[in-house]
Amino acid sequence: MESSISRDIVAWMADPANNALAPGLAEPAFDSPLVGCASGADPLFAWLRDDIGPDFYWTPAQALQLAFPGREMRPEAVTVIAWVLPQTARTLEAHRRCRELPSLAWSQVRHYGEMINENLRRFVVETLAGQGIAAAAPVLLPQWNRATSARYGFASCWSERHAAHACGLGTFGLSDGLITPAGKAMRVGSVVAEMVLPPTPRPYTRHDEWCLRAAGVACRSCIKRCPAGAISEAGHDKELCFNYIRNVTAPYVARELLPGIPVNSCGLCQTGTPCEHGIPKRPRKRPAGEQTGELAGQGEAAG
């Protein structure tokens, strides 16, 4: 996506004053962002609302309407701008070594990095407002809330990962993480705005196309990386994941890493996997009759 707002996002993140791993550190929290956009009239958004929760999930126009009540927002006049903030090589290296508990760097990104992501959302909204464009960050709206999806369990009114998927930035993996061109180890954000931008092409047709399993490869890397047993051939058990983070990793972070701050940090399934820092490569086609093997150990944590 090449637009002035895309360039503004990249420039804002390149400023060390905006992108520090922790207060007072010179080290960046994130690598350079990827940015994409989609039309509010893209049928995928209505499909997502109906699939996730027609009674609570927002389309882009509905989210923007909440921020600007009394002003009609036509879906075709609304654009979603989404971004991916990739973890740095240093954070990946530190986290790959962890087996059961998160690294300091990952926990710093989960805490301070998410504050950067929030500031970026505000920056985008304010930049567009300065150009006379109505814009809002759905997850920062006071109406944003968690909900229970009949189909998927824990959910919310607006999913940053699904917005990024619609904006051509990635497809879902077995662990529910979004596999992007910069990998699955990243954070996402989005803003909806009353403007028309050319949509970013979606270089996939399936929601899980970049996960190796969608290509028939019996990859088990994220299953093996999860210390809570929350990932299986059947997918991601959100409740087991939530309980592990709430009962084990968040108290650990508050006790040992960032005193007094119980950060919801884990993400072990996002590192040490073939999809960690890029779209995983499909194996060469094997001769007919030869069985497709499991990618045992590929991309596993070092040490």
Give the nearest distance from C-beta 220 to ligand SF4 in angstroms: 7
Give 110's contacts (C-beta < 8 A, 6+ positions apart). 102, 263, 264, 265, 267
Least Å from the CB of residue 271 to ligand SF4: 9
Nearer to ligand SF4, 230 or 253 (CB): 230
Partners of residue 79 on adjacent β-strands: 39, 193
Which of 212, 250, 263, 279 binds ligand SF4 (CB under 6 A)? It is 212
Q: What is d(CA 22, CA 261) in angstroms, rounded to the nearest whole number?
A: 13
Nearest to ligand SF4 of 4, 247 (CB atom): 247
How many angstroms separate the CA atoms of 212 and 218, rounded? Answer: 7
State which residue, 78 or 231, has the beta carbon closest to ligand SF4. 231
Query: Residue 124 or residue 219: which is nearer to ligand SF4 going by CB?
Result: 219
Q: Does 228 bind ligand SF4 (CB under 6 A)?
A: yes
In sequence order, which ranges of 60-103 are alpha helices (DSSP H)? 60-67, 89-96
Closer by beta carbon to ligand SF4, 199 or else 274: 274
Packing angle between helix 114-130 and helix 4-14, nearest 10 degrees?
A: 140
Phi-psi region of 132 (alpha: psi -120 to 50; beta: other; left: phi over 0): left
How many other β-carbons are positioned within 10 Å of the β-carbon of residue 261? 15
Residue whose beta carbon is closest to ligand SF4? 173
191 near ligand SF4, rule: CB under 6 A: no
Q: Are 120 and 13 in contact (CB under 8 A)?
A: yes
Q: How far apart are CA 138 and CA 302, in angstroms?
A: 38
User: x/- contact string, 120-159, with ligand SF4 (CB under 6 A)?
Assistant: ----------------------------------------
269 makes contact with ligand SF4 (CB under 6 A): yes
**What is the distance between the alpha carbons of residues 155 and 210, in angstroms, rounded to a whole number?**
23
Q: Does 250 bind ligand SF4 (CB under 6 A)?
A: no
Q: Is residue 175 within the footprint of ligand SF4 (CB under 6 A)?
A: yes
When asked if residue 109 is in the footprint of ligand SF4 (CB under 6 A), the reply is no
Which of 137, 230, 250, 258 is in the footprint of ligand SF4 by CB under 6 A? 230
**Which residues of this chain interact with ligand SF4, rule CB under 6 A?**
173-175, 211-213, 219, 221-222, 225-226, 228, 230-231, 236, 241, 244, 266-269, 273-275, 280
